[in-house]
A and B are shown apart, each in its own frame.
Chain A
Amino acid sequence: SAVISQKPSRDICQRGTSLTIQCQVDSQVTMMFWYRQQPGQSLTLIATANQGSEATYESGFVIDKFPISRPNLTFSTLTVSNMSPEDSSIYLCSVADAGNTDTQYFGPGTRLTVL
Chain B
Amino acid sequence: SQELEQSPQSLIVQEGKNLTINCTSSKTLYGLYWYKQKYGEGLIFLMMLQKGGEEKSHEKITAKLDEKKQQSSLHITASQPSHAGIYLCGADEAGDSSASKIIFGSGTRLSIRP
**Which residues of A line the B interface, CB within 8 A?**
30-31, 33, 41-45, 48, 92, 94, 96-109
Contact of B105 among A42, A48, A94, A98 (CB under 8 A): A42
In the complex, what's the smallest C-beta–C-beta distance from A31 to chain B, in angstroms? 5
Contact of B43 among A33, A44, A102, A106 (CB under 8 A): A106
Q: Whole-angstrom distance between the alpha carbons of A105 and B43 in the complex?
A: 8
Q: Which residues of A contact B92 (CB under 8 A)?
A: 101
Interface size on B, residues (CB 8 A): 22
Q: Mark B40-70, 1 if CB is under 8 A from A, else 0.
A: 0111010010000000000000000000000
B79-114 contacts to A, CB under 8 A, are: 88, 90, 92, 97-107
| Inter-chain contact B99/A106, CB cutoff 8 Å | no
| Inter-chain contact A98/B99, CB cutoff 8 Å | yes
In the complex, what's the smallest C-beta–C-beta distance from B110 to chain A, in angstroms? 14
| Inter-chain contact A100/B99, CB cutoff 8 Å | yes
The 4 closest A-B pairs by CB, nearest first: A96-B99, A106-B43, A108-B42, A43-B104
| Inter-chain contact B101/A43, CB cutoff 8 Å | no
Q: Whole-angstrom distance between the alpha carbons of A105 and B101 in the complex?
A: 11
| Inter-chain contact B100/A96, CB cutoff 8 Å | yes
Q: Whole-angstrom distance between the alpha carbons of A115 and B41 in the complex?
A: 22
| Inter-chain contact A33/B104, CB cutoff 8 Å | no
| Inter-chain contact A45/B103, CB cutoff 8 Å | yes
